[in-house]
A and B are shown apart, each in its own frame.
Chain A
Amino acid sequence: QSALTQPASVSGSPGQSITISCTGSSSDVGSYDLVSWYQQHPGRAPKLLIYEVNKRPSGVSNRFSGSKSGDTASLTISGLQAEDEADYYCCSYAGSSTRIFGGGTKVTVL
């Protein structure tokens, strides 16, 4: 099973909004509202940002939001800040209690 497809990189200026896409198939993203997003800074463990497509854990900034349409999920970061520069990964339930990750997107704050 191939990884979910994410753009390799996305960039934006401070204060702007950016959106990262995550494209799967009818076997994963398209069939379940069970997409989660993770932020990973260099040398650090991933951190949960979004779960079940659009839910934010307590403590996560409301500048992060998620959505889904068909086989594609999206993460939007609004009011981009320097600290948002990191790698971002989507993950989807893929049936039979399995999971699949996206290839990751490097966000650069210009």
Chain B
Amino acid sequence: QVQLVQSGAEVKKPGASVKVSCTASGYTFISHDISWVRQAPGQGLEWMGWISAYNGNTNYAQKLQGRVTMTTDTSTSTAYMELRSLTSDDTAVYYCARDRENSYGRKTQFDYWGQGTLLTVSS
């Protein structure tokens, strides 16, 4: 069965960086992109960007451009999301999700999700 298992909770100080991992199993890793979605406490979902597990191409949400980097390690079927220059506004649960496309190459759905990684940014 498809599973996405994320790394554990993190506590960081303002200005620091964090790198969250997402290890996939149960499918061919390079066959699907991975998106990252975050959720601040008591708030809604926010799409952060995606990475192609096939060729490493990325597309980041405009508001995070310059602060986020998504990478993959195909040898371990793991995706990573690094966020830099952290502020308290980055305190959230971060999810990875398998990103599906239709036959026209358009992104259609997030069909499997990781369990989430809580990031707390506090001095």
> Which residues of A approach B to under 8 Å, CB–CB?
1, 3, 32, 34, 36, 38, 40, 45-48, 51-52, 57, 89, 91, 93, 96-104
> Which residues of B approach A to under 8 Å, CB–CB?
35, 37, 44-47, 50, 59, 61-62, 95, 97, 100, 102, 106-111, 113-116
Give 9 pairs: A residue, B residue, CB < 8 Å, sorted on A: A3-B44, A34-B107, A46-B95, A46-B113, A48-B111, A51-B100, A52-B109, A91-B45, A102-B44
Whether A45 contacts B44 by the Cβ 8 Å rule is no
Whether B44 contacts A32 by the Cβ 8 Å rule is no
A100–B107 Cα distance when bound, in Å, is: 12
Residues of B within 8 A of A104 (CB): 44-45
Contact of B50 among A3, A36, A97 (CB under 8 A): A97
